[in-house]
Structure 1
Amino acid sequence: MSSTTDHGAATPANARVNATGRQRKKFELRRGTRKLTLALHVVTSVGWVGLSLSMAVLAVMGYTTEDAAIAKGVYYAMYVFDDTSVTVFSLAAAITGILLSCGTKWGLLLHWWIVVKWVITLFMTFFAWFVIHPIVMDASERTATAGGAAPDPGGAGVFLVWSVPALFVLLTVAAVVSVYKPWGKTSRGRAAQPAGRRR
């Protein structure tokens, strides 16, 4: 299908006109690339949710156990997960999400559900690395020096026991939002519609 300019010339539907009047073709993923990107996005997003749930269980276990050896192992496991899998899965989910938004009809800033999901993803990625990561290291170091005494992760353990489950809830919200796609289009999305279809 094609659209027409003011001069009656046909322009492709996936082309845009910039301020100088020149056509600018919209970035679009090919079908095979789109499916591969979608598969990677689903796998990494679901994997991230699973890792987040595992981290939440470990955080609760580390804070409630009275066995120093278990606490040490739990926080070390959290450190390893956070330093490897969580970082890789979160970055991969974010990158593939951007590619899918920009390379499909949805657009990056055209629908509120994509904006909300993108904000959650960005927040989770930075919070996990710059906040959770050093606190997990602190809790791991505290329990590693406990010896035979009862473990005391201190404030680090308290912070992890409520923040990590909260992050799991946020990821779950992002997953639900991507299924239901609520809230309609943003003002930019409405402006990008043909004049006759705007509400």
Structure 2
Amino acid sequence: MSKRSSQYGRNLLVWIHVITSVGWMSQALALLTLMLVARLDPSVRDAAIAIARLLDRQVLAQLADASAFTGFMLSALTAWGYFRYWWVLAKFVITVAQLTVGIFFLDPDGTPLSIAAAALMMSAIGFQAWMSIAKPWKKTPWGENGTPKRLPTGSPRVFLACCAVPVTDLALSLVCGFPAPLFSLLATIGYPIWRFRQLRHLPAAPAPRRTSEPIQV
């Protein structure tokens, strides 16, 4: 494929990541608002909690899965990698923590714990946006010593395939009746393993410049 096609696929993946990240943050704000209303006005508590749970399971969960997947793949498909830079690693850990807590432990029921969780989720997404722009801190020990070579950018076909994964997962979720990010999980784990095996014998190259990669939110 041409350089223009490569840039198109990359830009499209960045666009999906930005849109879903903003949507995730917006839904966290919506949950926070609904739960505060439920707590302050008992007459609408049941309705507010019902709407919050609907948004959480049918909208926020889908946006969170798509945002996390596209963010992970923008790291895996570029020279940043998952664990080579502290700011990328911090985003990785925060995202995994958000997904784990949101899926397995929290329910938007209007309790102080759920209200605090929604506020923290929204704040964490904002902090991740700042890290994506500022790119603070240096390389991790894995970036300095473990894999000093520059990681090449993924092919245009892989970028375009990653753009289709969230749509495929959404269709699967509609069939199942609940969020089912199966293909996102397979790609997030499988592609870096495959690429690591392909790159083990590549020669070292200079580290990527700070302005050479797409902004992640």
TM-score normalised by the chain length of structure 1: 0.68
Q: State the number of aligned residues.
A: 148
Aligned to 1:159: 113
Root-mean-square deviation (Å): 2.1
Instruction: Please state if 1:193 is matched with 2:120.
Output: no
| SS of corresponding position for 1:110 | coil
Instruction: Work out which of the residue numbers 104, 122, 129 in structure 2 matches 1:168.
Output: 122
The residue type paired with residue 42 of structure 1 is V
Q: Report the CA distance between 1:177 and its aligned residue.
A: 1.2
Q: How does 1:111-190 map to 2 (within 5 A)?
A: 111-132=85-106, 135-136=107-108, 139=109, 157-190=111-144
The residue type paired with residue 54 of structure 1 is A
* Superimposed CA distance per residue, residues 61-110 of structure 1 (whole angstroms, 9 cap, x where no aligned partner): 1111131xx11111011101111111111110111111110111211111
Instruction: Work out which of the residue numbers 82, 93, 98 in structure 1 matches 2:72.
Output: 98
Cα separation, partners in 2 of 1:33 and 1:196, compared to 1, 3 Å? closer
The residue type paired with residue 148 of structure 2 is Q
Q: Distance in 1 between matches of 2:141 and 2:39?
A: 46
Q: Distance in 1 between matches of 2:35 and 2:130?
A: 24
Q: Distance in 2 between matches of 1:30 and 1:177?
A: 25
Q: Distance in 2 between matches of 1:167 and 1:40?
A: 20
> Which 4+ stretches in 1 moved above 2 angstroms?
29-32, 191-198
Q: Report the CA distance between 1:38 and its aligned residue.
A: 0.7
The residue type paired with residue 73 of structure 1 is A
Instruction: Please state if 1:51 is matched with 2:6.
Output: no
Q: Percent identity?
A: 25
The residue type paired with residue 128 of structure 2 is A
Q: Which has the higher helix share?
A: 2
Q: Distance in 2 between matches of 1:76 and 1:66?
A: 13
| SS of corresponding position for 1:182 | coil
Q: How does 1:27-42 map to 2 (within 5 A)?
A: 30-42=6-18
Gap regions ≥5 residues in structure 1? 1-28, 140-155
Higher RCO by CA contacts (8 Å cutoff, separation 6 or greater): 2
Q: Report the CA distance between 1:185 and its aligned residue.
A: 0.9
Q: Report the CA distance between 1:127 and its aligned residue.
A: 1.1
Q: Distance in 1 between matches of 2:98 and 2:36?
A: 19
Aligned to 1:80: 54
Q: Report the CA distance between 1:30 and its aligned residue.
A: 3.2
Q: Report the CA distance between 1:196 and its aligned residue.
A: 9.7
TM-score normalised by the chain length of structure 2: 0.63
Instruction: Please state if 1:65 is matched with 2:41.
Output: yes
